[in-house]
Amino acid sequence: MTVRQKITPCLWFEDNAEEAVRFYTSVFPGSSVHSVHRARADTPGNKEGGVLLIEFTLAGQSYQALNGGPHDTFNDAISLSVDCADQAEVDRYWAALTADGGRPVQCGWLKDKYGISWQIVPRRLTELLSDPDPAKGKRVMEAMLKMVKLDVAALEAAAAAKS
């Protein structure tokens, strides 16, 4: 018996949901496609037999991808935040998601080739920002705001610096 998630984010693509889902499931371990729903003859905006909706999992989180046509595009109001154990994981996800048309933004944010915004965040950043010493947290935040891809060693150096 499959347990269904109560709330599942649905990503709206113009017509390339299947390509995007293949890409995302190749990037994140523990990912898979669960079902592909095809359009019937009476489905507005979709060719009969074309992919309408895909249900999939990325690293344990359920999603849906909809080929909904050109009505809406992704924007920065919603982003997917990736918790990274270390710099190697930050680097791997950053490289994969900025490849082939993705682009870096700032402060650990990027847009992938499909227009989805991602935050690639090392766990260490949250630990450093949560330090009981407010001056240390301030230095870490100031360093982070100057970065594009987040650099754990530079964040730690900022935390260790004397004011």
**107 within domain boundaries:** yes
Do 65 and 141 lie in a common domain? Answer: no
Do 56 and 31 lie in a common domain? Answer: yes
**40 within domain boundaries:** yes
Do 66 and 78 lie in a common domain? Answer: no
Tell me if residue 54 falls in helix, strand or coil. strand
CA atoms within 13 A on the CB side of 102: 19
Residue 69: the pLDDT is 84
Residue 1: the pLDDT is 43
Give the domain CATH number at 46: 3.10.180.10
- A 10 A CB-CB count for 8 gives 13
Would you give per-residue pLDDT tens digits along the chain (163 residues)? 455 789 999 999 999 999 999 999 999 999 999 999 998 877 776 777 788 999 999 999 999 999 988 888 899 999 999 999 999 999 999 999 999 999 999 999 999 999 999 999 999 999 999 999 999 999 999 999 999 999 999 999 999 998 6
Do 92 and 155 lie in a common domain? Answer: yes
**140 within domain boundaries:** yes
Do 160 and 121 lie in a common domain? Answer: yes
**2 within domain boundaries:** no
Residue with tokens 């496609």: 33
Do 61 and 88 lie in a common domain? Answer: no
Residue 71 CA to residue 111 CA, distance in Å, equals: 19
Q: What is the pLDDT of residues 25-60, one digit of tens each?
A: 999 999 999 999 998 877 776 777 788 999 999 999
Residue range of the domain that includes 158? 74-163
Do 102 and 152 lie in a common domain? Answer: yes
Do 126 and 48 lie in a common domain? Answer: no
Residue 26 CA to residue 31 CA, distance in Å, equals: 8
